[in-house]
A = this chain, B = another copy of it.
Amino acid sequence: MGRIKLEEIDTRAPGALQKEQVKLETAGIISELNELQNLLYAESKHSVLVVLQGMDASGKDGLIRKVFGNLNPQGVMVHSFKVPTAEELGHDFLWRIHKNAPAKGMIQLFNRSHYEDILVTRVHNLCDKETAYKRMRAINDFEWLLAEHNNTTILKFYLHISEKEQSLRLNERLDDKTKQWKYNESDFAEAKLWPEYRKVYEDCFEECNKIPWTIVPADQNWYKEYIVAKKLKDALSALKMRYPGLKKA
Contacts and interface: CB of A to CB of B under 8 A. Distances in A.
Interface of A: 44, 87, 90-95, 98-99, 101, 103-106, 134-135, 138, 141-142, 144-146, 148-150, 152
Contacts of A142: 141, 145
A149 B103 contact: no
A105 B90 contact: yes
A16 to B, nearest CB: 43
Contact of A98 (B99, B106, B141, B149): B99
Contacts of A134: 148-149
13 contacts: A90-B105, A92-B101, A92-B150, A92-B152, A94-B145, A95-B101, A134-B148, A134-B149, A138-B141, A138-B144, A141-B141, A141-B142, A142-B145
A146 B91 CA distance: 8
Contacts of A148: 134, 138
Contact of A95 (B44, B92, B98, B144): B98
Contacts of A146: 92
B145 A141 contact: yes
A93 B92 CA distance: 18
A98 B99 CA distance: 8
A32 to B, nearest CB: 25
Nearest to A135: B149
Which A-B residue pairs are the 7 nearest by beta carbons?
A: A90-B103, A141-B141, A92-B149, A92-B150, A98-B98, A90-B104, A138-B145
Contact of A91 (B90, B95, B141, B150): B150
Nearest to A147: B92
Nearest to A139: B145
B138 A149 contact: yes
Contacts of A145: 92, 94, 138, 141-142
A99 B99 contact: yes
Contacts of A105: 90
Contacts of A144: 138, 141
Given A99-B99, A103-B87, A94 B138 contact: no
A152 B106 CA distance: 31
A92 B141 CA distance: 13
A242 B130 CA distance: 25
Contacts of A92: 101, 145-146, 149-150, 152
